[in-house]
Amino acid sequence: MAEENHRHYVQIDEKRCNGCVICMKACPTKAIRVKDNRVARIEGVCIDCGECIRVCPRGAIKAITTGSGASRISPYTIISASPVLYAQFGEDVMPNDILLALRKVFKYVYDQAYTHELCNVATELYIRENRGREDAIWPLISPVCPVVNRLIAYRFPSLLKHIIPVITPREIAARELKKRLYCESVFKTKEFGVYHVTPCSAKMISINEPMFLEASYLDGAMGINEVYEVVKKNLHEVDEDVMLHRSGGVGMGWSLCGGEIAGLDEGSYLAVSGLRETILYLEKIEMGLLNDIEYFEFRACVEGCIGGPLTVADPYEAKRTVQRLVRMFGQEKRLKFAQAQSAYKEGWFFSEVERKPLGGKPKPLSIAEGIARQERLEDILRKLPEKECGLCGAPDCRTFAEDVADGKALLKDCVFLGWEKKHGEQA
Amino acid sequence: MPHLTKSFAIKARDYIRGGDVSIQIQGLLKTIGFDAALIRRASVCAYEAEMNVVMHGGDGTVTLTVDTDGIVIDVKDEGPGIENIELALQEGYSTASEEQRELGFGAGMGLPNIQKNADGLEIESEKGEGAHVKIVFKLRSNGG
Shortest Cα–Cα distance, B128 to chain A (Å): 31
Q: Does B94 touch chain A (CB under 8 A)?
A: no
Chain B residue whose CA is closest to A285: B40
Quick one: pLDDT at residue A71? 52
Phi, psi (deg, nearest 5) at residue A245: -85, 120
Q: Does B47 sit within 8 Å of A289, measured CB to CB?
A: yes
Could you tell me which of A301, A389, A308, A276 has the C-alpha nearest to residue A24? A389
Could you tell me which chain A residue has the CA closest to the CA of B45? A287
Q: What ipTM was predicted for this assembly?
A: 0.85
Do B44 and A289 lie within an 8 Å CB cutoff? yes
The span from the CA of A27 to the CA of B142, in Å, is 34
**Mean pLDDT score of chain B:** 88
Nearest C-alpha in B relative to A284: B23
Q: Is the pLDDT of residue A45 over 70?
A: yes
Residues A3/A362, Cβ–Cβ less than 8 Å: yes
Which of A284, A287, A292, A376 would best serve as a mutation to test chain B binding (most B beta carbons within 10 A)? A287
State pLDDT tens for residues A338-352. Answer: 989 999 999 889 987
Mean pLDDT rounded to a whole number for chain A: 89
Residue A403 has pLDDT above 90, yes or no: yes
In chain A, what is the straight-line distance between the N-terminal and C-terminal CA atoms, in Å?
45
B-chain residues near A366 (CB < 8 A): 33, 143
% of chain A beyond a pLDDT of 90 = 72
Tell me the domains of chain A and their CATH numbers.
68-345 (no CATH), 366-427 (1.10.15.40)
Interfacial B residues in 47-66 facing A (CB < 8 Å): 47, 66
Q: Is B128 on the interface with A (CB under 8 A)?
A: no
Give the Cα separation of B129 and B80 in Å (integer): 6
User: How many contacts does A have with B, using Cβ atoms within 8 A?
Assistant: 63
First to last CA, chain B: 18
> What average pLDDT does this structure show over A105-134?
93
CB B71: neighbour CB atoms within 10 A?
27
Q: Is A2 on the interface with B (CB under 8 A)?
A: no
Burial A166-201 (b: 16+ CB within 10 A, else e): bbbbbbbbbbbbbeeeeeeeeeeeeebbbbbbbbbb
CATH superfamily, region B3-138: Histidine kinase-like ATPase, C-terminal domain (3.30.565.10)
For B141, nearest residue in chain A (alpha carbons) = A367
Mean pLDDT of B74-78: 93
pLDDT digits (tens, 9 = 90+) for A297-338: 999 999 999 999 999 999 999 999 999 999 999 988 888 889
Mutate: best of A374, A382, A398, A402, partner B, most B CBs <10 A:
A374
Q: What is the pLDDT of residues A50-77, one digit of tens each?
A: 999 999 999 999 998 887 665 566 667 8
User: A364 and B32 in contact by Cβ < 8 A?
Assistant: yes
Is A264's pLDDT higher than 60? yes
Q: How far is B55 from chain A (nearest CA, A)?
A: 17
| Strand B60-67 relative to strand B70-77, pairing | antiparallel
Which residues in chain A touch residue B6, judged by CB atoms under 8 angstroms apart? 378
Are A157 and B36 inside 8 Å of each other by CB? Answer: yes
Mean pLDDT in residue range A227-251: 93
- Asked if the C-beta of B31 comes within 8 angstroms of chain A's C-beta atoms, the answer is yes
pLDDT score, position A316: 97
State the pLDDT confidence band at B42, using cuts at 50, 70 and 90.
very high
Say yes or no: A368 contacts chain B, CB-CB below 8 A.
yes
**Higher confidence at residue B13 or residue A354?**
B13
Going by C-alpha positions, the residue among A402, A411, A407 that lies closest to residue A377 is A402
Average pLDDT over residues A220-240: 93
Give the H/E segment covering residue A269: strand A269-273
**Beta strand pairing status for A295-299 and A140-141?**
parallel
